[in-house]
Structure 1
Amino acid sequence: MTKFFLTISFLWLLTFSVFSQKHRTRIENRPNFDKLMFHYGFYLGLNRNDFKVDYRPNSITDNPNVIVEPKTGFNVGLIADLRLHKNINLRFEPGLVTNSKKLTFEYITGPDSEKIRDNVGSTFLHLPLILKFSTDRLDNVRPYVLGGVSFDHNFTSNEKNPDDNFSGSFRMQTSNFMYEIGIGIDIYLYYFKFSPSIRGIFAINNEIKYDDTSPSQWTDPINYLGTRGVFIHLAFE
């Protein structure tokens, strides 16, 4: 996942660097846009979220292995941007994110229904606070990098569900903290600024909720389970 993110980011920068050199123009769209103290917008995008899984010594198995099969999801939200410096902006980007995953506990013997948790879904409120560091504007383009932290409320976590994996219910924590990093470019168009970016998102805390019954073949071998993923983020400001 990390190698994929770095490779895509490099290609992204290279493509727009070449584009900006070959297509320079003397006409600047929205020349005063970056002088605004506040501005607003919205974003749309796609995501592909995985889980990082670490294991711990347990009485169930010596070789725990959980296979995670992610699916492509959708994200949408709003943007509030505060100009701190001509090259630094503080952004609040609340939004909704959906995705789902299939978990296969390979080490569990027995019927497939007992070792697979399908459609482990996440529909969550994503509340990131982002610092955006931009270069100086080059005609109608402006590359940037960003980083920040977020609070995520998982509406489909099942945390308060009294049924655990012994009843077929995979549970996760409702409240989680993430950090994210990204790279992108502002493109100044006649009526608005279009800002595509690629972002990596990573969980800070352990998101799994352990089964109430112990020993549990599903959760006892897991020391840490946390989101990691890639967002394609298309902003309109």
Structure 2
Amino acid sequence: MKKILLLLVFIYISKLTIAQKEINLNYQEVDHKIIHFGFTIGFNTMDFGINSSLAPYGADSTVLIPELNNLSPGFHVSVVSSLRLTDNFDFRFLPGISLGQRNILFYNQNKIVEKEMNIESTFIDLPFLIKYKADRIKNYRPYLIGGVNIRNDMARNKEFNDDEGIYIKLKPFDIYYEVGFGLDFYLAYFKLSTEVKYSVGTRNVVSS
């Protein structure tokens, strides 16, 4: 009798242990929605790819060489609109705003800083992206993303002004290629994602 009782206790404990190891799949319905919405909040850094023309500057014909000084953190917020194409592909449209700043130093030919300029940007973003989702792994799902982003800088420098430190005039419009990767976390009532994305502009944004 004792052996039977011990056997029943062992079976009960084994089943309890297995049940504890089983993981419930959270928020499964989101994977079957044709359209769903959300929002993103993130941080960014902005820079320039600078090619100096070595053209003389000012009345004394000084040649100044611009160089990006450092990367400053910026802020980004957007609305997520996602259209399900297949089990593994989504089309995404994420209109939003990106705020950032770039600091440029102007060196003379003796490597001495002559001027400094802070360029602040407020971009209206209109990205069109394709998201490839790997198969779901319990409550996680890695993904890749890529596409184009149409951007308009609302805070661009409109006129040169030496007194105010405006030595570069920028064009407002640019088209960016974007690629990235991320991981979806399925929680009980919503899905949380972390993402790293790289964007590169395609046009010369310096205005003469």
Scaled to the shorter chain, the TM-score interval is: 0.7 to 0.9
Q: Which amino acid aligns with 1:201?
A: S
What's the counterpart of residue 33 of structure 1?
Answer: 30
Q: Which runs of 5+ in 1 are unaligned?
A: 1-23, 211-237
Shift of 1:26: 2.5
Q: Which runs of 5+ in 2 are unaligned?
A: 1-20
Matches within 5 A, 1:1-237: 25-56=22-53, 58=55, 64-107=65-108, 115-117=115-117, 119-159=118-158, 161=159, 163-165=160-162, 168-169=165-166, 170-210=168-208
Shift of 1:48: 1.1
Shift of 1:167: 6.3
Q: 1:115 to 1:82 in 2, by over 3 A?
A: same
Q: Which runs of 4+ in 1 moved over 6 A?
A: 60-63
Question: Is residue 178–residue 201 contact of structure 1 (8 Å, CA) maintained in 2?
Answer: yes
Cα distance in 1 for partners of 2:62, 2:200 equals 28
TM-score under structure 2 length normalisation: 0.79
What's the counterpart of residue 10 of structure 2?
Answer: none
TM-score under structure 1 length normalisation: 0.70
Larger radius of gyration: 2
Q: 1:85 to 1:152 in 2, by over 3 A?
A: same
* Alignment deviations for residues 106-144 of structure 1 (CA, whole Å, 9 cap, x no partner): 1268x96x5211x31001111111110110111110000
Q: Which amino acid aligns with 2:153?
A: N
Coordinate RMSD, CA, aligned? 2.5
Instruction: Tell which deviates more after alignment, 59-68 or 27-36.
Output: 59-68
Q: 1:91 to 1:62 in 2, by over 3 A?
A: same
Secondary structure of residue in 2 paired with 1:50: coil
Q: Which amino acid aligns with 1:116?
A: E
Shift of 1:80: 0.3
Shift of 1:146: 0.5
Higher normalized contact order (CA 8 Å, seq sep 6+, divided by chain length): 1
Secondary structure of residue in 2 paired with 1:200: strand
Q: 1:193 to 1:28 in 2, by over 3 A?
A: same
Q: 1:100 to 1:108 in 2, by over 3 A?
A: farther
Secondary structure of residue in 1 paired with 2:206: coil
What is the identity percentage for the equivalent residue pairs of Structure 1 and Structure 2? Answer: 30
Q: 1:151 to 1:165 in 2, by over 3 A?
A: farther
